[in-house]
């Protein structure tokens, strides 16, 4: 605590009173302007990171079981929003993930989609470089044929 702030709490008798006052003064849970600002950014830009930031401002008190259920509920909503933002070319991976018995976490879903995207990029890149290889194989295979297009009867031993 900085000296300027600590001067305000010198005459408190109990630590609980200090914490109570600090919570009221500096808590971000009741900062409705910040919550509204983040909600607006989410609405206008649909960034998931803003949604996570907003969760920090909302201080919901609940038992552990309810907390776990709520976290799963929020996570599922984020996954669905993420899926809505995907292009139609990712429909197959979307169906595979949604067809699972238990929905994976958002980070696992993101990783899976990112892996699919990387695989597609690699395959597209290899597809363009394999075109030259296929042409080379075709040229080599026609060398061993006669002028009429029939395969040569010569063996590799010169017979």
pLDDT tens-digit series, residues 111-153 = 999 999 999 888 888 766 655 555 545 555 555 545 555 554 4
Stronger pLDDT, 59 or 21, i.e. the higher one: 21
Q: Which 8-state DSSP code applies to residue 145? A: B
Mean pLDDT of the region 30-39: 59
C-alpha to C-alpha distance for 36 and 39, rounded to whole angstroms: 5
Share of residues in the chain with pLDDT > 90 (%)? 3
**pTM for the whole thing?**
0.44
pLDDT at residue 76 greater than cutoff 80: yes
CA separation, residue 117 to residues 33, 45, 85, 110, 139 (Å)? 38, 23, 14, 10, 34
Neighbour-count burial for 21-49, b at 16+ CB within 10 Å, e otherwise: eeeeeeeeeeeeeebeebeebbeeeeeee
Share of residues in the chain with pLDDT > 70 (%)? 57
Q: Among the ranges 32-36, 78-82, 151-155, which has the highest mean pLDDT value?
A: 78-82
C-alpha to C-alpha distance for 159 and 155, rounded to whole angstroms: 6
Using pLDDT thresholds of 50, 70 and 90, give the confidence band for residue 156.
very low
- Burial bucket for residue 93 (CB in 10 Å: 0-12, 13-18, 19+): middle
Of the candidate ranges 38-42, 85-89, 151-155, the one whose mean pLDDT is the lowest: 151-155
pLDDT score for 50: 59
pLDDT score for 31: 55
CA separation, residue 22 to residues 38, 62, 124 (Å)? 24, 22, 57
């Amino acid at each position: 605590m900085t000296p300027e702030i600590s001067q305000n709490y010198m005459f408190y008798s109990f630590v609980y009173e200090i914490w109570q006052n600090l919570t009221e003064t500096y808590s971000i849970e009741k900062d409705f302007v910040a919550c509204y600002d983040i909600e607006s950014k989410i609405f206008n830009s649909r960034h998931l990171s803003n949604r996570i930031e907003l969760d920090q401002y909302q201080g919901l008190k609940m038992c552990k079981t309810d907390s776990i259920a709520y976290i799963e509920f929020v996570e599922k909503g984020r996954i669905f929003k993420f899926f809505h933002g995907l292009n139609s070319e990712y429909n197959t991976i979307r169906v595979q993930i949604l067809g699972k018995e238990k929905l994976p976490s958002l980070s696992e879903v993101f990783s899976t989609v990112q892996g699919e995207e990387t695989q597609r990029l690699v395959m597209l890149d290899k597809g363009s470089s394999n075109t030259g290889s296929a042409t080379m194989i075709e040229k080599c295979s026609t060398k061993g044929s006669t002028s009429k297009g029939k395969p040569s009867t010569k063996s590799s031993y010169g017979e």
